């Protein structure tokens, strides 16, 4: 009987080890691991053990809030960067209409960034100043 028990324990241990390995692989795949970045990060962690330990000891809520703060700051930066071009496009309805026409087949999730790209290109072609010489005379086709 003890040998059967041992054998069952070994089988259970193998199953747990296999499950653990597959879980680790799943986590790596969900994180989209880049070996070069991982090596660089591991070296940085090795050089900054106290900082790494500090982050490991933070509650999950604090980590989430820090990440959200970074996302918020990034969104504010992008909004501030894009404001002048959006204001310029609003002053030129013909250009806005031409850009919107080009966006009709663009997937919804990409329309905002593509609009900024096309507006920036149009502004570069006709100039983004407020003077009469920079006013577009006709709709600009951007490509």
Say if 29 falls within a structural domain: no
- Give 11-51 pLDDT, tens digit per residue: 777 777 777 666 666 666 677 788 999 999 999 999 999 99
Q: What pLDDT is recorded for position 127?
A: 76
How far, in Å, CA of 6 to CA of 95, rounded?
A: 77
Q: Which residues contact 103 (CB under 8 A, 6 or more apart)?
A: 111, 114, 115, 118
CB 120 within 8 A of CB 142: no
Q: List the single range of 3-7, 56-60, 87-91, 106-110 with lowest mean pLDDT.
A: 3-7
Say if 15 falls within a structural domain: no
What global pTM score does this model have?
Answer: 0.56
Choose among 105, 106, 110, 143: nearest CA to 124: 143
Q: What pLDDT is recorded for position 59?
A: 95
Q: What pLDDT is recorded for position 89?
A: 94
Say if 73 falls within a structural domain: yes
Pick the more confident residue, 7 or 61: 61
Say if 89 falls within a structural domain: yes
Say if 43 falls within a structural domain: yes
Q: What pLDDT is recorded for position 12?
A: 78
Say if 11 falls within a structural domain: no
Q: What pLDDT is recorded for position 109?
A: 94
Q: What pLDDT is recorded for position 14?
A: 78
- Domains in the chain, number: 1
**pLDDT at residue 130 tops 70:** no
Question: Could you give the angle at the alpha carbon of 142 between the alpha carbons of 117 and 110, nearest 5°?
Answer: 35
How far, in Å, CA of 64 to CA of 69, rounded?
A: 9
| Mean pLDDT, residues 94-105 taken together | 94
Q: What pLDDT is recorded for position 8?
A: 72
- Give 49-92 pLDDT, tens digit per residue: 999 999 999 999 999 999 999 999 999 999 999 999 999 999 99
Q: Which helix (H) or strand (E) holds 33?
A: none
Kindly tell me the burial class for residue 92, based on how many C-beta atoms sit within 10 Å of its own C-beta (0-12, 13-18, 19 or more): buried
For 60, the domain range is 35-134
Say if 18 falls within a structural domain: no
């Amino acid at each position: 009987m003890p040998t059967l028990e041992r054998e069952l324990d070994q089988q259970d241990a193998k199953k747990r080890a296999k499950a653990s390995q597959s879980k680790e692989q799943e986590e790596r795949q969900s994180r989209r691991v880049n070996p070069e970045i991982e090596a660089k990060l591991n070296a940085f962690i090795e050089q900054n053990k106290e900082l790494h330990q500090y982050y490991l000891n933070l509650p999950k809520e604090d980590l989430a809030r820090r990440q959200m703060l970074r996302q918020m700051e990034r969104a504010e930066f992008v909004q501030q960067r894009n404001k002048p071009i959006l204001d310029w496009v609003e002053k030129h309805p013909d250009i806005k209409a031409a850009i919107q026409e080009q966006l009709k087949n663009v997937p919804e999730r990409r329309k905002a960034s593509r609009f900024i790209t096309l507006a920036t290109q149009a502004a570069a072609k006709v100039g983004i100043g407020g003077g009469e010489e920079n006013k577009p005379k006709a709709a600009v086709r951007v490509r």
